[in-house]
């Protein structure tokens, strides 16, 4: 259960962040993220090589979480949780300038980069250090493991619904 909670918090931070660079080739022309609903699908932790890829932890038997983008790259993130599938809305969850992204998660500002983007897929890369304050506050029992992740990158993938 603690591992699931840790991964959920890590994703939440990751979902709203992205920082770092990557060898992934970008398309020749810049694609502006299309308005609509974007569903998080996987989270991958990379430190030299991929260490682990997990499915995004959507709450079972609830509508899947999603990021709803509107014109001007304004966004609301809808998180469904608990046995009653209570919805929490995070406004101003995604702000974009070029491929740079600024996310607001639980009051923490996390910066990152959109590394892959098509009309139906988006991948945001984040340096794990962007999440350290969030992890320390929400899961202090994992603080001792954070040094092992230094220099790691988190890749958060989305599919357009």
Distance CA 90, CA 101 (A): 16
**Which residue in 135, 146, 141, 149 sits closest to 17, CA to CA?**
135
Q: Which two tokens stand for residue 79?
A: 């998180």
Q: What is the pLDDT of residue 73?
A: 66
Q: Provide the residue-wise pLDDT of the chain in tens; the chain has 161 residues.
A: 444 444 444 444 444 433 344 444 444 344 456 789 999 999 888 887 777 788 988 999 999 999 898 877 678 889 898 999 999 998 888 888 889 988 776 567 878 899 999 999 999 998 988 878 877 877 788 778 778 878 888 888 999 98
Q: What is the pLDDT of residue 32?
A: 56
Strand boundaries in 84-128, DSSP class E: 86-91, 95-97, 100-105, 108-117, 121-127
Q: What domains lie within the chain, and their CATH numbers?
A: 2-160 (2.40.128.280)
- Integer CA distances (angstroms), 132 to 16, 84, 89, 97, in order: 14, 30, 23, 24
**DSSP letter string, 10-41:** HHHHHHT------SPPPPSSPPPPPSEEEEEE
CA 33 to chain centre: 15
Q: What is the pLDDT of residue 26?
A: 42
- Relative to beta strand 66-70, strand 86-91 is unpaired
Q: What is the pLDDT of residue 104?
A: 72
Q: What is the pLDDT of residue 15?
A: 42
């Amino acid at each position: 259960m603690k591992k699931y909670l840790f991964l959920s918090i890590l994703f939440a931070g990751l979902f709203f962040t992205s920082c770092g660079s990557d060898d992934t080739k970008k398309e020749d022309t810049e694609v502006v993220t299309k308005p609509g609903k974007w569903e998080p699908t996987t989270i991958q932790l990379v430190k030299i090589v991929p260490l682990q890829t997990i499915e995004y932890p959507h709450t079972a038997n609830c509508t899947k979480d999603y990021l709803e983008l509107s014109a001007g790259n304004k966004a609301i993130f809808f998180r469904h949780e608990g046995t009653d599938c209570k919805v929490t809305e995070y406004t101003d969850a995604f702000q974009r300038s070029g491929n740079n992204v600024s996310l607001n998660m639980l009051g923490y500002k996390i910066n990152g980069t959109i590394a892959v983007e098509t009309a139906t897929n988006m991948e945001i890369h984040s340096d794990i250090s962007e999440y350290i304050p969030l992890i320390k506050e929400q899961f202090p029992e994992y603080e001792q493991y954070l040094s092992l992740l230094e220099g790691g990158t988190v890749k958060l993938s989305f599919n357009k619904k």
